[in-house]
Amino acid sequence: MQAPHKEHLYKLLVIGDLGVGKTSIIKRYVHQNFSSHYRATIGVDFALKVLHWDPETVVRLQLWDIAGQERFGNMTRVYYREAMGAFIVFDVTRPATFEAVAKWKSDLDSKLSLPNGKPVSVVLLANKCDQGKDVLINNGLKMDQFCKEHGFVGWFETSAKENINIDEASRCLVKHILANECDLMESIEPDVVKPHLTSSKVVSCSGCAKS
């Protein structure tokens, strides 16, 4: 088998209110397991997922699991630095966690942007969909509209418990990040490397919709 020759390393944030399932989503995605036992995240946690994007390309995702607890708020924001994308998660059984989504998004946009000044790609996850659809997510049109208004690149109903849509949501986010990276590469002069890009270790540009 031919060895992959394009590699990308992306830092991704997973944020949202307390107990919405951020850690569980990462655990399901990276370790293929789930626990119903709840243990609050203290500060920040990490996990690495390797994706064989296509036969020539490997994408390494560094997932930063940021504590939802308010008391860690100011501390955790420093970890946003140099992220290339994010998932914002809410719990479909707790409407208040959906109401907080716009705040998470505007906070993220105020603290993080791409080197070209554009916002980073963010996918919204309506988690715990195995438990019902109490929030407005059963109205697809409203969610699409909400995402458009708030600048999300997409949204998915997910379940860490039942392993629903987590891979799909990740692929959607990575696809947008790869496309953003193509734009960034085009805007950079050939012999100038912007310091921000060192975190995403660009070997070459792939997956670009415009190619």
Ligand X SMILES: Nc1nc2c(ncn2[C@@H]2O[C@H](COP(=O)(O)OP(=O)(O)OP(=O)(O)O)[C@@H](O)[C@H]2O)c(=O)[nH]1
Q: Could you tell me which of 11, 30, 55 has the C-alpha nearest to residue 173?
A: 11
Query: What tokens appear for 72 in the block?
Result: 């860690």
In residues, how long is the chain?
211
Binding site for ligand X (CB under 6 A): 18-24, 35-36, 38, 40-41, 67-69, 127-128, 130-131, 159-161
**What whole-number distance in Å separates Cα of residue 125 and Cα of residue 34?**
17
Beta bridge partners of 49: 61
Q: Which is nearer to ligand X, 120 or 164 (CB)?
A: 164
Q: Which is nearer to ligand X, 24 or 180 (CB)?
A: 24
Nearest approach in angstroms of CB 94 to ligand X is 10
Residue nearest to ligand X (CB): 68
Nearest approach in angstroms of CB 48 to ligand X is 17
Q: Which is nearer to ligand X, 8 or 22 (CB)?
A: 22
Nearest approach in angstroms of CB 204 to ligand X is 35
Q: Could you tell me which of 196, 190, 154, 186 has the C-alpha nearest to residue 172?
A: 154
Q: Which is nearer to ligand X, 91 or 181 (CB)?
A: 91
Q: Which is nearer to ligand X, 23 or 200 (CB)?
A: 23
Query: What tokens appear for 194 in the block?
Result: 């912007």
Nearest approach in angstroms of CB 202 to ligand X is 30
Query: What tokens appear for 200 in the block?
Result: 């995403």
DSSP code for 164: B
**What whole-number distance in Å separates Cα of residue 26 and Cα of residue 29?**
5
Q: Which is nearer to ligand X, 39 or 148 (CB)?
A: 39
Query: What tokens appear for 149 in the block?
Result: 């208004």
Nearest approach in angstroms of CB 119 to ligand X is 23
Nearest approach in angstroms of CB 79 to ligand X is 13
Q: What backbone phi and psi angles, to 5 degrees, belong to 48?
A: -120, 130
Q: Could you tell me which of 60, 65, 66, 52 has the C-alpha nearest to residue 200?
A: 60
